[in-house]
Structure 1
Amino acid sequence: MEFSWPELIDRVLAVQPVPQPATVAVLGAVALGLVIIAWPLTRMIITIAHEAGHAGVALVTGRRLTGIRLHSDTSGLTVSRGRPRGPGMVATLLAGYLAPGLLGLGAALLLASGRAALLIALLVVALAAMLVMIRNLFGLLVLVIGLAGTAAAVWYLAPLHQSWVAYVLTWTLLLAAPRPVLESARQRSRQSDAAQLRRLTGVPTWWWTSVFLVGTLACLMLGLGVLAPGVLRLG
């Protein structure tokens, strides 16, 4: 298919019909299966969202972003420069674990208005922005694959199939967001976001972990409220 900017814009701004409740339920089940069975894959998606959260808030709070790394063990690292203490640093650390759930909730709101193509296009833009800041080969490979896949979905997939992809991604973000918080709590790393927040604020690590868990679960519940009304009518 020959590339055309006007056609691309039309595709991105087009409104797709919201899928039937049964379809939404099936797509949610597919996402849940990916979270349970293919956790390394879904964990990497959550890590990308996590590091995007750190990076975005670092920029908003006036810090200078110096690099992002994604590792083969599905961990990640975002480095920024600025004041080592203060609200900007606290907000930057706080953003990571909350980002996947918040992004999932925002995606759910877009899907509820029939904007699946716009959602995927925004993912393309976000991945391209992260690509500029990536600082390791494995991370570069992951983002290139993700960028190529999402860009192909915008240009080649029919609106119905775009909607399916967008729903699976959204369900995945919402359903998977709490799991890394629980993993971090079990590992009790001194380099975890919660541990770093404790050193910055004096507030106990368990409190910050609770904030992350409550935040991700709240996003999941709110996201279900946006996506699930049609599903609930199945009964």
Structure 2
Amino acid sequence: MPSDFLDRLFSVQPEPERLELVVLGAALLALAVVVYRPTWRWSRNVITIAHEGGHAVIALLSGRRLQGIRLHSDTSGLTVSAGRPTGPGMIMTLLAGYPAAPIVGLIGAVLLTAGRITLMLAFALVMLPLMLVMIRNLFGVLSVVTVWAAVFLVVWYASDLWQWVFAYTLVWFLLIGGVRPVFELQRQRARGRMPYSDADQIGRLTRIPPLAWVGVFLTVAVVALVAGGWLLARWLLPGVEAV
């Protein structure tokens, strides 16, 4: 049984018939979820999980002590780490939030186009429980458990076709959904409602205007969307065949 699982985990899954319909349908669905406010209101929690996960991972890699993560019902979040309040480690930790979702989406696009769909979904099944250990509020626990359960049900029970549909939709959502929060950030900043945003905190630490850091967040998100989108939909380009 373990060997069968490992074989499936690292094997290349065959593409479904009419892959172009799966890719295009998933892209349109993800776009609709991001653009339509009621669906964005609840689905944005997935982006927040990635955002706070980015803070947490870089905090640990930079030698800071991770103390806890909170996810709130208004789709905001907070990651608390201990260490020097200034310096490269703190700056990189603050920088990691907004780029996290689009970068994860780009990695997912690479795995999908290589046919490693099971590996991609299994990665989520491993990382989410690790994050759950650091969650410090009930809503955060419910959010992470809900996302993990959705991925688990797809991996364990869904047919190959529906796994492809789910995986493509999730990756498109991370890529597209990673852009919108940057605009929301700047809109809130312009209204004076986010004086302690990631961009403002980095600005105070580096003495570089916060708007420049908003530009960095947007650049990373757009580049990831373009690169990931090209990987996922390159079959649309004349003379280019999907792997």
Question: TM-score, normalized by length of structure 1?
Answer: 0.94
SS at match of 1:183: helix
SS at match of 1:173: helix
Aligned: 1:39 with 2:40 = yes
Question: 1:76, 1:9 → 2: CA distance?
Answer: 35
Q: Deviation per CA, 1:200-225: give whole Å up to 9, x if none.
A: 11100110000001110011011111
Q: Deviation per CA, 1:60-98: give whole Å up to 9, x if none.
A: 111111101100000111111111100000000001001
| Matched residues, number | 231
Q: Deviation per CA, 1:27-83: give whole Å up to 9, x if none.
A: 111111111221013211110110010001001111111101100000111111111
The amino acid across from 2:132 in the alignment is L
Please name the residue that 1:215 is paired with: 220
SS at match of 2:199: helix
The amino acid across from 2:211 in the alignment is W
Alignment root-mean-square deviation, CA? 1.5
Shift of 1:25: 0.8
Aligned: 1:167 with 2:171 = no
- Give the 4+ runs in structure 1 shifted more than 2 A: 4-14, 231-234
* Alignment map for 1:47-196 (pairs within 5 Å): 47-188=48-189, 189-196=194-201
Question: TM-score, normalized by length of structure 2?
Answer: 0.91
Q: Deviation per CA, 1:160-200: give whole Å up to 9, x if none.
A: 22111111000000011111111110111111000000111
Question: 1:151, 1:8 → 2: CA distance?
Answer: 14
Report % sequence identity: 49
Structure of greater relative contact order (alpha carbons < 8 Å, 6+ residues apart): 1
Aligned: 1:21 with 2:20 = yes
The amino acid across from 1:24 in the alignment is V
SS at match of 1:181: helix
Is there any run of 5+ residues in structure 2 with no aligned partner, and where? none
Judge conservation of contact 2:13–2:116 (CA < 8 Å) in 1: yes
